[in-house]
Amino acid sequence: MTAKSDRHIRTLAFAKFALQQIERLGLPADPTSFELWYTYATGNNQELNTAVDATLTRSGGMTDAELERLCELHISSTRSANRLKAIATDLSGEIAQVVGIIDVATSASESYDQHLGRGLQSIERTQSHQALKPVVEVLVIATREMESKTRALELKLEESRVKTIDLQKDLELLRLENLTDPLTLIGNRQYFDESLAKMTAVANERGLPLSLLFADIDHFKKFNDSFGHQVGDQVLRLVASTIKEALRDGDVAARYGGEEFAVLLPNAQLDVGKLVAQRICLAIMRRDIKLRSSQQSLGRITISIGVAQFRQAEAAVEFVGRADTCLYAAKRWGRNRVVSEHDPEFLTNGDTGPLISTALAAVR
């Protein structure tokens, strides 16, 4: 009872600390925030504690985006690593089981061969049919025993085969989870980075075009502060689903971080990428945000998108940098617009511009 009581007191203190930090920093009181601060309080993840301390020292607080990034880097990865370790242990156990089955089968086969060898020798020495009977009986018994052991081994092998298939499925699910943003259910930053590496390699090898879209929700922090984090999460999911609906099979959509999204369009020239971006902009602008509970309209949201096309043999970081620069040009020229690397907005440093670019207005 005393040990249980001590554990109760200790874990309750961790929980209180977590809630205090959430309230002090104005963070969403959701399971993600609680897990981060509870883990921080335990001191069991030193890398997390170091990263959190550095964030607080640098800015004196923590934004939702920083919270999410810290969780993804230091908690989700740890959780996944533990699951991977458990699956690996189970797989090792199944491999050992199969090796054991093979050893038993080998021993049984050797024993049966010995029975057959002795039986054949006895038959060669036997002069009468009557004397053959006990020899044949021994061989029949040995054969039946061998058949029984073989059936048992086959059943064990089948059980191991089924379990191994299940473990392989678990590994695939874990891989997909590690590449999926849990909030928006599209790819995460890791998925984007891996896809970018593969697609730029293909584009270089085959000389095919590849376009990249960088999108950012306009004034998202203001919207989040006005209506709360739950509504903000709803907006992120809406934007992600709208982007996904606009894409072809083989295109890649990912949440790059915070309210920023990235889209890879293989075999698409810059003008095609810009057209897709314009469609996404318009589709999102036409969506009316409503509270799920009361269906109260909260108005509309807009996004800005930058578009770049991959250049042969360039580094991926340069490709991403140009798309990002296009995005900031779209922001600088008034938001709610698409800017490609061939547009005047990208080539000049203006501070003002119409709300919607001429190209976007033409599509309307």
At CB < 8 A and 24+ separation, what contacts does 314-318 make?
Answer: 316/196, 316/197, 316/200
Active site residue 259: yes
Q: How far is CA 84 from the centre of its chain?
A: 14
Tokens of 292: 């799920």
> Whole-angstrom Cα distance, residue 213 to residue 25?
33
For residue 167, which of 104, 98, 76 has the smallest C-alpha distance?
Answer: 98
**187 secondary structure, DSSP code:** B
Tokens of 310: 């991959």
| Beta partners for residue 264, in sequence order | 212, 252
Q: How far is CA 242 from CA 79, 89, 216, 290, in A?
A: 30, 41, 13, 16
> Whole-angstrom Cα distance, residue 276 to residue 238?
17
Between the two ends of the chain, the Cα-to-Cα distance in Å is 71
The catalytic position among 259, 260, 341, 345 is 259
Residues forming the active site: 259
